[in-house]
């Protein structure tokens, strides 16, 4: 064929390899190795960790070998050893998701470090914004229980969400009626006897059975049937309830209840210390002496603040203890120190008043109780707001129907029975009945019926798509009219909807590089604040002790020590590392969620950060700028033969290729066999796909070569002037000319046209206005490439490029100082997609292209390229705003709390106001990120009619 945008079958999926890398001392070293590896052609991803001295490399074995990767690492200056090849890794690698309740930003780094230090952990990511960790590990070396223990050793509460092998599915069941260990073993043995069951994990406390199995062999209905038939029918099995949303809602309610309970005690404390002292009748009652100078008001405040300090505020003590026990300090430490200072000084003051006949005590009980109340309110508001950042995932989950109609067929395919089941119980090869107006319950293909299906929620295609026997359907889409019978092919975690949800979840877990800035600050923030707080108290105390400021500065109800103490406490509680830590992840979560709702799947913070810097976009042609559904528009024979025989030979060769141009030729050949729905072509022997050039095979003892001009010249086939003229003519009309040789002699020329996508020229124009230059890099001929470029308004063109040449062109552009995005759809685009700073795959493209890309454009519309760049720019504008606010708040708030303005203005922040400000800062950052939910794509796109092109089959 005349393009590198094609390939035969058999291109492998990316593989993984793990290397031991000796000599790295810091994150700068690991970053250097990562950058070098990612620049290699054929590298899909590279994650290097200096703590564990490991490198996890995902690569395409057809393009690069493990030995080349190892040599590259050693060229950087480190000793590298392959410790786990991709075959072992693919079988043993396991991923689990763990919920970490109440984790703060400074804790997340400690948890990551603890997990990475475990032998057998390949990669660990902790996202404080959604309180979750994703851990990739080798179950032969470490168990998920050890992962939970490692997290809890850092002082956090860990709850397992899911765990499963990469090549298996997992299903969780709750079994009622289990009362003894014998019953547990009985059920376990019954399940293990089922073919396809690989592993079973049991949680006796919850009567929970987690079954890992091969979905091609068995499924969840079989598990339930086996359990309920075991033990004389006394066991009842059901799907284990989802815990994600419930845990989050429970935590919100817990903070809300704690806040309300604290108010019950705090409001009376506030009234007795701040309000009732100005009410004459009540004031005299509160000032009544009980023992020496100890009065009723002080006893009441002590009694009311104690439950707030030690019962309601217990969480801060336990959090501080766990953090300090592992050599780190978090927000809980600041809160505990600040409230304890106020509370215990008040206790000292009260006890001294009780023991003295002339000491007038001043207590700060209202400071400690109001501080805790305001912090609980802030936590409640923060967690509520954080929950709203992940609404995109909740909306995606809601697309799946709750129930499905399962059909039972006899040997002749007739329906003998139907029943309504939970859609989560669908197994592979089940036949599902989809009624008009109902959602399709599973990915599959139609085996009976005709209808139109609305796929806009998945693909963005606005018009319903016609479906008939043999057509594929996607779970979560809506059947518009007729009844369909669908055979399930992808169920559970393999379904398209589940994979989109997993992609969005992974994207929201992945940290943007800019997050490292906050991580570095958070390591030193709390110790620095404690030092500043103590220094503030000491400076004010010494200044008062040695009369360095007028006595008139001291409020009548305090002495110099108490004034200094208030300044010190205010500094401690106003500082907020949480706002810094939330600045990036909350914006990334909302940004990726908004992108998913717009049909743009962004694979994490790295892609989002790189996309906002893009100033150069490299476009593939076929299927990217063009519709990707080429058709044969002209055929000219150069040899005396029947046209049907000519197409028989060509179709027999091209049917082995998945390239769009090959499919166009096969479809054209089918016209000569209109009486056959799926014609059988002659056998093609010795089929060879020559990437970027074409294919060749032996059909009916004749050597057939189909491809471009360069392939014919390489095969020493003469191209007559008549064929040259036709090639020139087709290229001038933006068509592709395909040459066909039979037994070493040129037999014909086929002209194929692939029209431009609607609005392509407008998209290029808008990109120019955004100061983003566009380039075409294609494997097609120069004539066709130039015609297409002229039509859309692109000036720079590279044609007849092989896959590796596309990647080289991307690297040349990067070397010139450009931040390059590559937009493609084919297998041959994957090296360039990986090499680019941002790879964008068209959603209708191949799985390998989508796997290699950083951003997936689900709707296959070019306008989404603009949406992706604009959304990334808006998101990072929001992140900058968050950082400016978070840094500005601390840089301004800490000096004010320390009393810098007090000498000149008399402005002093009481600790409870400082605590309220601290709580408000975190909430404000989250709310600022939530404003991204109002994102609207650029107005210039509203006028474009680019909702896809319907291809009539």
- φ, ψ (nearest 5 deg) of residue 171: -135, 140
Angstrom distance (rounded) from CA 197 to CA 800: 50
Angstrom distance (rounded) from CA 688 to CA 378: 65
pLDDT computed for residue 740 by the predictor: 92
**Average pLDDT of the segment spanning 876-882:** 90
Q: How confident is the model at residue 774 (pLDDT cuts 50, 70, 90)?
A: very high
pLDDT computed for residue 32 by the predictor: 65
Question: Among 332, 363, 620, 854, which one carries the catalytic annotation?
Answer: 620
831-875 tens-digit pLDDT: 788 888 888 888 654 455 456 678 888 777 888 899 999 999 999
**Average pLDDT of the segment spanning 57-70:** 84
Angstrom distance (rounded) from CA 204 to CA 210: 11
| E strand or H helix that includes residue 326 | none
Q: How confident is the model at residue 928 (pLDDT cuts 50, 70, 90)?
A: confident
**Average pLDDT of the segment spanning 340-362:** 85
Q: Is 942 a catalytic residue?
A: no
**Average pLDDT of the segment spanning 213-222:** 84
Q: Is the pLDDT of residue 170 over 80?
A: no
> Side by side, which strands form the sheet with 54-59?
43-49, 54-59, 15-22, 79-84
679 token code pair: 């014609």
Vertex 809, ends 803 and 811: CA angle to 5°?
110
**Average pLDDT of the segment spanning 722-736:** 85
Distance (Å) of CA 893 to CA 444, 897, 911: 58, 6, 12
Angstrom distance (rounded) from CA 427 to CA 298: 69
Compute the half-sphere exposure of residue 229: CA atoms within 13 Å on the CB side of its CA. Answer: 9
Which of helix, strand or coil describes residue 134? strand
> Dihedral of CA 396/398/402/407: which sign?
negative
CB count, 10 Å around CB of 471? 16
pLDDT computed for residue 199 by the predictor: 82
Among 480, 444, 773, 401, which Cα is nearest to 619's? 773
pLDDT computed for residue 44 by the predictor: 84
Angstrom distance (rounded) from CA 579 to CA 577: 6
Q: CB of 608 within 8 A of CB of 588?
A: yes
Angstrom distance (rounded) from CA 896 to CA 889: 10
468-526 tens-digit pLDDT: 888 889 888 889 888 999 999 888 777 777 777 766 666 555 566 776 777 677 677 88
Name the more confident of 902 and 913.
902
Q: Is the pLDDT of residue 88 over 60?
A: no
Pick from 57-66, 232-241, 364-373, 498-507: least confident: 498-507
Q: Is the pLDDT of residue 29 over 70?
A: no
Q: Is the pLDDT of residue 86 over 70?
A: no
Question: If DSSP states are collapsed to H, E and C, what string results for 15-55?
Answer: EEEEEEEECCCCHHHHHHHHHHHHCCCCEEEEEEECCCCEE
637-651 tens-digit pLDDT: 888 888 888 998 999
Q: Is the pLDDT of residue 616 over 90?
A: yes
Which of helix, strand or coil describes residue 411? coil
Q: CB of 838 within 8 A of CB of 821?
A: yes
pLDDT computed for residue 952 by the predictor: 32
Note every long-range contact of 464-473, with CB atoms under 8 Å and residues 24 or more positions apart, other chains counting. 465/950, 466/953, 470/445, 470/446, 471/445, 471/446, 472/443, 472/444, 472/445, 472/446, 473/434, 473/440, 473/443, 473/444, 473/445, 473/446
Q: Is the pLDDT of residue 50 over 70?
A: no
Looking at 816-949, list the stretches that DSSP marks H as alpha helix, in order from N- to C-terminal side.
Answer: 830-835, 847-852, 863-897, 902-905, 911-930
pLDDT computed for residue 614 by the predictor: 92
pLDDT computed for residue 219 by the predictor: 87
Q: How confident is the model at residue 247 (pLDDT cuts 50, 70, 90)?
A: low
Among 385, 152, 156, which Cα is nearest to 255's? 385
377 token code pair: 């309110």
Distance (Å) of CA 918 to CA 370, 389, 924: 13, 21, 10
Tokens 């963005």 correspond to what residue? 460
> Dihedral of CA 768/773/778/782: which sign?
positive
Angstrom distance (rounded) from CA 47 to CA 53: 11
Q: How confident is the model at residue 944 (pLDDT cuts 50, 70, 90)?
A: low
pLDDT computed for residue 87 by the predictor: 36
**Average pLDDT of the segment spanning 602-627:** 85
Among 106, 113, 230, which Cα is nearest to 175's? 230
Q: Is the pLDDT of residue 92 over 60?
A: no
**Average pLDDT of the segment spanning 337-363:** 85
Angstrom distance (rounded) from CA 479 to CA 262: 52
**Average pLDDT of the segment spanning 690-698:** 83
pLDDT computed for residue 160 by the predictor: 73
Among 738, 770, 925, which Cα is nearest to 863's? 770
Q: How confident is the model at residue 410 (pLDDT cuts 50, 70, 90)?
A: confident
Burial of 677 (0-12, 13-18, 19+ CB in 10 A): exposed
CB count, 10 Å around CB of 11? 19
Angstrom distance (rounded) from CA 747 to CA 699: 15
* Mean confidence (pLDDT) of the chain: 81
Residues above pLDDT 90, as percent of the chain: 13
- Say how many residues make up the chain: 953
Q: Is the pLDDT of residue 89 over 60?
A: no
Among 19, 67, 21, which Cα is nearest to 42's? 67
Which of helix, strand or coil describes residue 418? strand
> Dihedral of CA 451/455/457/462: which sign?
negative
Compute the half-sphere exposure of residue 205: CA atoms within 13 Å on the CB side of its CA. Answer: 0
**Average pLDDT of the segment spanning 528-552:** 90
Tell me the range of 364-378, 608-622, 653-667, 829-843 where mean pLDDT is highest: 608-622
pLDDT computed for residue 706 by the predictor: 92
CB count, 10 Å around CB of 499? 15
Q: CB of 558 within 8 A of CB of 144?
A: no
Q: Is the pLDDT of residue 827 over 70?
A: no
> Side by side, which strands form the sheet with 236-239?
197-203, 208-213, 169-176, 236-239
Among 268, 273, 465, 421, which Cα is nearest to 350's? 273
Angstrom distance (rounded) from CA 457 to CA 597: 8
Compute the half-sphere exposure of residue 3: CA atoms within 13 Å on the CB side of its CA. Answer: 31
695 token code pair: 């294919």
Vertex 928, ends 924 and 931: CA angle to 5°?
140
Angstrom distance (rounded) from CA 487 to CA 185: 35
């Amino acid at each position: 064929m005349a393009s590198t945008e094609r390939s035969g079958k058999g291109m492998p999926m990316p593989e993984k390899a793990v290397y031991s890398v000796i000599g790295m001392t810091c994150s700068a070293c690991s970053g250097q190795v990562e950058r070098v590896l990612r620049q290699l052609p054929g590298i899909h991803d590279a994650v290097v960790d200096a703590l564990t001295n490991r490198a996890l490399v995902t690569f395409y074995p057809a393009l690069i070998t493990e030995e080349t990767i190892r040599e590259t690492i050693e060229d950087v200056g480190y000793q590298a050893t392959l410790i786990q090849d991709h075959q072992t890794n693919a079988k043993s690698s396991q991923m689990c998701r763990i919920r970490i309740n109440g984790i703060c930003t400074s804790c997340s780094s400690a948890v990551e470090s603890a997990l990475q230090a475990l032998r057998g952990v390949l990669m660990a990511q902790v996202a404080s914004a959604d309180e979750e960790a994703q851990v990739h590990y080798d179950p032969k070396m470490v168990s998920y229980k050890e992962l939970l223990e490692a997290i809890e050793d850092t002082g956090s509460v860990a709850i397992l969400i899911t765990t499963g092998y990469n090549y298996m599915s997992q299903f969780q069941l709750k079994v009622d009626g289990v009362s003894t260990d014998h019953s547990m073993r009985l059920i376990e043995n019954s399940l293990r006897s089922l073919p396809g069951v690989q592993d079973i994990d049991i949680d006796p406390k919850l009567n929970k059975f987690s079954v890992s199995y091969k979905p091609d062999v068995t499924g969840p209905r079989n598990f339930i049937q086996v359990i309920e038939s075991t033990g004389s029918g006394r066991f009842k099995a059901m799907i284990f309830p989802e815990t994600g949303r419930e845990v989050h809602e429970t935590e919100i309610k817990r903070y809300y209840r704690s806040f309300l309970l604290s108010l019950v005690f705090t409001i009376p404390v506030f009234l007795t210390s701040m309000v009732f002292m100005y009410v004459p009748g009540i004031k005299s009652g509160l000032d009544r002496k009980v023992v020496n100078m100890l009065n009723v008001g002080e006893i009441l405040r002590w009694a009311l603040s104690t439950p707030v300090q030690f019962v309601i505020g217990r969480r801060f003590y336990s959090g501080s203890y766990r953090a300090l026990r592992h050599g780190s300090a978090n927000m809980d430490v600041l809160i505990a120190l600040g409230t304890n200072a106020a509370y215990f000084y008040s206790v000292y003051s009260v006890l001294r008043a009780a023991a003295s006949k002339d000491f007038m005590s001043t207590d700060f009980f209202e400071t400690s109780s109001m501080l805790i109340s305001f912090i609980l309110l802030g936590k409640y508001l923060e967690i509520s707001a954080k929950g709203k950042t992940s609404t995109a995932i909740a909306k995606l989950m809601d697309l799946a129907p709750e129930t499905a109609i399962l059909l039972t067929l006899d040997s002749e395919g007739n329906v003998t029975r139907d029943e309504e089941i939970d859609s989560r119980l669908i197994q592979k090869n089940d036949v599902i009945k989809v009624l008009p107006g109902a959602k399709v319950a599973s990915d599959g293909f139609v085996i009976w019926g005709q209808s139109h299906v609305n796929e806009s929620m998945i693909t963005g295609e606005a018009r319903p798509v016609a479906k008939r026997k043999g057509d594929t359907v996607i779970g979560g889409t809506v059947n518009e009219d007729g009844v369909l019978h669908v055979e399930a092919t992808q169920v559970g975690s393999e379904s398209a909807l589940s994979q989109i949800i997993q992609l969005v979840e992974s994207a929201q877990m992945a940290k943007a590089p800019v997050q490292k800035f906050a991580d570095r600050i958070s390591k030193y923030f709390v110790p620095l604040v404690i030092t500043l707080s103590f220094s503030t108290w000491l400076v004010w105390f010494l200044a008062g002790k040695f009369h360095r400021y007028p006595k008139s500065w001291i409020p009548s109800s305090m002495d110099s020590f108490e004034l200094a103490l208030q300044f010190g406490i205010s500094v401690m509680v106003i500082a907020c590392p949480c706002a810094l830590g939330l600045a990036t992840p909350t914006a990334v979560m909302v940004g990726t969620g908004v992108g998913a709702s717009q049909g743009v799947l962004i694979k994490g913070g790295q892609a989002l950060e790189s996309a906002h810097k893009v100033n150069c976009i490299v476009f593939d042609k076929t299927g990217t700028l063009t519709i990707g559904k080429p058709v044969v528009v002209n055929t000219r024979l150069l040899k005396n033969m029947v046209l049907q025989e000519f197409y028989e030979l060509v179709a027999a060769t091209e049917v082995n290729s998945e390239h769009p141009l090959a499919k166009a030729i096969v479809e054209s050949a089918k016209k000569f066999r209109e009486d056959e729905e799926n014609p059988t072509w002659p056998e093609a022997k010795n089929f060879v796909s020559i990437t970027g050039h074409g294919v060749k095979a032996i059909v009916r003892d004749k050597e057939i070569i189909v491809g471009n001009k360069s392939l014919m010249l390489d095969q020493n086939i003469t191209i007559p002037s008549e064929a040259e003229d036709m090639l020139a003519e087709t290229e001038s009309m933006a068509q592709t000319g395909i040459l066909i040789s039979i037994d070493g002699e040129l037999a014909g020329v086929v002209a194929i046209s692939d029209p431009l996508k609607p609005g392509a020229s407008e998209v290029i124009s808008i990109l120019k206005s955004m100061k983003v230059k566009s380039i075409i890099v294609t494997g097609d001929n120069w004539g066709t490439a130039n015609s297409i470029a002229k039509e859309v308004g692109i000036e720079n063109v590279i044609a007849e490029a092989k896959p590796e040449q596309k990647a080289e062109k991307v690297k040349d552009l990067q070397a010139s100082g450009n931040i390059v995005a590559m937009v493609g759809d084919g297998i041959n685009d994957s090296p360039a997609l990986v090499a680019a700073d941002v790879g964008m795959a068209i959603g209708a493209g191949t799985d390998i292209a989508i796997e290699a890309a950083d951003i997936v454009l689900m709707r296959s519309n070019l306008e989404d390229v603009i949406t992706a760049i604009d959304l990334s720019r808006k998101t990072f504008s929001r992140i900058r705003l968050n950082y400016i606010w978070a840094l500005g708040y601390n840089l301004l708030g800490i000096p004010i709390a320390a009393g810098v303005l007090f000498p000149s203005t008399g402005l002093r922040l009481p600790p409870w106001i400082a605590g309220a400000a601290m709580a408000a800062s975190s909430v404000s950052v989250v709310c600022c990120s939530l404003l991204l939910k109002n994102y609207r794509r650029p107005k210039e796109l509203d006028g474009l009619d680019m909702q896809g092109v319907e291809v009539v089959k």
